Amino acid sequence: MSLYLPETKFPIQSEVSLAPYTSLRVGGKAEWYIAPENCEQLQDSLIWADKEQLPVTFLGGGSNLLISDRGLPGLVISARNFRYLKIDEEAAQMTVGAGMPLPTVAWKAAKRGWHGLEWAVGVPGTVGGSVVMNAGAHGKCMADTLVTIVIVNTDGHLERLTPEALDFRYRSSNLQYLPRWVVEATFQLQPGYSKQHVTTTTRTHLNQRRSTQPYDKPSCGSVFRNPPEQAAGWLIEQTGLKGFQVGDAQVADCHANFIVNRGQATAQDIYRVMQHVQEKVEQQWSIWLQPEVKLLGEF
């Protein structure tokens, strides 16, 4: 069933499976779902949800999410249509829609010889989600190059924020805890490098990630945050958990901080693997691994 927003006539769909919109390929249905094509449709959908007193969930690329098999109540808003990129050649800045894949942005910068996003080429997910979680790799993160973002509040109001307002920390920002959605982000890059140098560095980072992480099966990226004492993957591997499996959910053989879907895994299978890993690592190392993946819905 579909409803249409009164002003834009844009459809809001009901009972839409969310599994195709997550990198793990698991998850139940959204009670209501919309993928707005512009800010006007986004604002209208938020006003509609507020009028209907529905909870709102924002969905980026779905690469750092585990959505319950029971699905999500209320309205799920997808950023998949917010894919645009504006280049300011003089300032060496890129303004990017929240739905743009982060690796695409990294390559766009590299091909201009602009330094600053080489690390991002192997990071799955979209710009919006990467800003929210302060994604990073190779000792760098989103906070290093971010200039401003535009967010939308639940009442549909747009606001421009600087990094100082986001309380960036390791793999986190205050956007994770407040009902605000990233519409676009502007990055400051460093010009003056040779295109060959930046593209070579970018390609090296990509090859390194592909050689050490499972790209052949659905996953959500790193499952657990690295604790101060040791890397999460090392702790899991040393606990003997590589290959541990529940249903079709398995701790990856090539990188223990990844859980892969071998074909027919459910969200509950993946959740049970996560619980088992946390319990066993705590038993052996007295360290409780904190999830980096965001859990949505009831488990």
Cβ neighbours for 258, distance < 8 A, ≥ 6 positions apart? 213, 214, 219, 221, 222, 223, 233, 251, 252
Where in the sequence numbering do the catalytic residues fall? 171, 222, 292
283, 57 Cβ separation under 8 angstroms: no
Three-state SS across 56-103? Answer: EEEECCCCCEEECCCCEEEEEEECCCCCCEEEECCCCEEEEECCCEHH
3-state SS class at 14: strand
Torsional class of 212: left (φ above 0), alpha (ψ -120 to 50), beta (otherwise):
alpha
Strand partners, 186: 95, 148
Torsional class of 210: left (φ above 0), alpha (ψ -120 to 50), beta (otherwise):
alpha
Q: Which tokens hold the place of 134?
A: 């302060």
Three-state SS across 116-168? Answer: CCHHHHHCCCEHHHHHHCCCEECCEEHHHCEEEEEEEECCCCEEEECHHHCCC
**What DSSP designation does 7 have?**
T
Could you give the angle at the alpha carbon of 224 between the alpha carbons of 81 and 204, nearest 5°?
65
Name residue 103's amino acid. P
What φ, ψ does residue 210 adopt, rounded to 5°?
-65, -30
Q: Which tokens hold the place of 189?
A: 């890059």
What φ, ψ does residue 126 adopt, rounded to 5°?
-100, 170
